[in-house]
Amino acid sequence: MTYAVELEDVHVSLGGSHVLQGVSFRVPTGGVTALLGRNGVGKTTTLRAVMGLAPHTGTVRVLGHDTGGLAVHRVARLGVGYVPEDRDVFVGLTVAENLRLAERVEAPAYDDAFALFPDLAARLRQRAGSLSGGQQQMLAIARVLLNRWPLLVVDEPSKGLAPKLVGEVADALARVATTSTVLLVEQNLAVVRRLAERVVVLDHGRVVHEGPVADLDDADLARQLLGVAAAQ
Amino acid sequence: MTTFLSLTFAGLALGAVYFLAASGLSLIYGLMDILNFAHGMFMTLGAYAGWDLATHLPASTPSALTFALEVVAAVAGGAVAALLTEVVFIRPLYGKPLSQVLVTIGLDLAVVALLLGGFGANSLSLPVPLWFLEASHVGAVLLPNADFVALVAGVLVLVVLEWFLRRTRFGIVIRAGVENREMVSALGVDVGRAFTLVFVIGGAMAGLAGLLYTAVFTGDLLSPLQGDGLLIFAFIVVVIGGLGSIRGSAVAAVVVGLLQDYANYYGGQHAGFSEIGNLSTVLLLALVLEVRPRGLFGRAT
């Protein structure tokens, strides 16, 4: 089996707090792997370590390459699209400029992006700052689709979205996952159940569970790991 | 009315030079969070580069071509000084703002001392075409030709810079980097190259500002300290306009230029205070900081 992402004994300290305390797990190539856990256990920090955005010790391999010492843009150029927790679209730029900035290949796949998010095609000249939260999330995802990269790292895509939009974003990610590996952080367990094949659960900066998504069907285990009822 | 129009025109010309001095400073801070105190040195070196080139030309009455060559030398001098500063001194200090401030202040002091040692404390005379010292009638108003040059240069640079920032990929990278540098990197863009480019653009404009300031406002006299004097107003313009905003710098530069000219003249005439322009500018700065701390066009932080 090949792996799109491999972490071995990754430690991250932020502002004196030891956030990741030896995180090790592997993300198989293809499909969606969800990284779960209560608030504040280090999920976002783990994704940032994968992207090279969080200074860390230990080994991070992305698409077979050890990212030790690589600048963030070099990690991205290995073939990683990053959708951060707060979308981080460039609010002063238009939709078209946001997309143009993300182009890294000769023939960007605008057709793919607009097929998934036709609303964006009609708003190319609109400033991203004037888009709704849902539209900004679509833009954040669309801009990493342009390069048809093999790995997408997606942090809480449903956060703050109305239920209908959560469904649309999940639909889009489901289609994306047919061609790319997706490492997903998501609090909405319905979305996780729908998209993910595998789950990795963090607690107190460590991996406490790895397995198929069906493990979440065990109500006691889900409550123990995530502090939520499995039916949620 | 004629006096008012003359003052307005002179204020706009001064504003144009302030804009040239401030816009690079604003971009550098907006993108890189660097308070670049060496920017005054770029202005001074630009002016000296123009002067140095003119002294190597065959002796003759300075022509428009002479001045054009001085402009090229000033732009190149400022750009090269900025490139070397970024590559040699700033790049190893990314993420260390205090060290950056100290090193840029040190650089500025060192270059001023070197210029004083090399050229002496006496002001040098920058050769400019005779036409520069004359004035032209626009209707009933007599306007100095040199002010036209400053104004045209300021407007041209504003237009080109706006085009560059809005229409080119590098421009989009720079605007996006001013908003969120980390996210630009995460999209696979080498922000370091944009940093260098912004420094070079800022240095080129500073070099032009230094030369024009000499040619238009100092009676063609060039001194090692003039860049630092101009830098103070450039910083004021940047803060009033909003860090990282070129349009903000343009508007603030015009406001500061006009205010200084009006205050100097009317303050001297009616209130008995001459040279009150500088005080007015600082009061405006205080007012803007009180009412709108992020400046006229600055982004919320």
Query: What is the Rg, in whole angstroms, of the alpha carbon atoms belonging to chain B?
Result: 19
Q: For residues A196 and A170, what is the distance between their CA atoms, to the nearest angstrom? A: 11
Q: For residues B239 and A167, what is the distance between their CA atoms, to the nearest angstrom? A: 45
pLDDT score for B142:
86
Task: Establish if A125 touches chain B: CB-CB under 8 angstroms.
Answer: no
Task: Establish if A95 touches chain B: CB-CB under 8 angstroms.
Answer: no
Domain ranges of chain B: 15-224
Instruction: Give the least confident one: A83-92, B55-64, B290-299.
Output: B55-64
The alpha carbon torsion through A70, A72, A74, A80 (nearest 10 deg) reads 120
Q: For residues B29 and B174, what is the distance between their CA atoms, to the nearest angstrom? A: 12
Task: Establish if A101 touches chain B: CB-CB under 8 angstroms.
Answer: yes
Which ipTM score applies to this complex?
A: 0.92
Residue B105: band (very low, low, confident or very high) from pLDDT cuts 50, 70, 90: very high
For chain B, the residues whose C-beta falls within 8 A of a C-beta of chain A are: 169, 172-173, 175-176, 178-180, 182-192, 299
Element (H, E) at A43: helix A43-51
Answer yes or no: is pLDDT of A194 > 60.
Answer: yes
Fold of A3-89+150-226: Rossmann fold (3.40.50)
DSSP state of A216: G
Paired sense of beta strands B124-125 and A3-14, if any: unpaired
- Per the CB < 8 Å rule, is A53 touching B180? no
Q: For residues B71 and B47, what is the distance between their CA atoms, to the nearest angstrom? A: 9
The pTM of this model reads 0.84
- Yes or no: say if B117 and B186 are a contact pair by the CB < 8 Å rule: no
C-alpha separations of B135 from A179, B16, B146, B147 in Å? 70, 18, 8, 9
Of A76, A98, A147, the CB nearest to B186: A76
pLDDT score for B274:
64
- Yes or no: say if B296 and B241 are a contact pair by the CB < 8 Å rule: yes
Domain ranges of chain A: 3-89+150-226
| Residue A59 to chain B, least CA–CA distance (Å) | 19
- Per the CB < 8 Å rule, is A101 touching B176? yes
Q: Give the tens place of pLDDT for each residue, A74-129.
A: 999 999 999 999 889 999 999 999 999 999 998 999 998 999 899 999 999 999 99
Nearest to B68 by CA among B197, B199, B215, B203: B215
Task: Establish if A72 touches chain B: CB-CB under 8 angstroms.
Answer: yes
Task: Establish if A82 touches chain B: CB-CB under 8 angstroms.
Answer: yes
First-to-last alpha carbon distance for chain B, in angstroms, is 43
- Yes or no: say if B170 and B6 are a contact pair by the CB < 8 Å rule: no
E-state strands within chain A: 3-14, 17-28, 32-36, 57-62, 65-66, 80-83, 151-155, 181-185, 198-203, 206-212
Instruction: Give the least confident one: A89-93, A98-102, B184-188, B225-229.
Output: B225-229
List of chain A residues whose C-beta atoms are within 8 Å of the C-beta of residue B189: 73, 101
Residue B273: Cβ-neighbour burial (10 angstroms; 0-12, 13-18, 19+): middle
E-state strands within A138-205: 151-155, 181-185, 198-203
pLDDT score for B253:
96
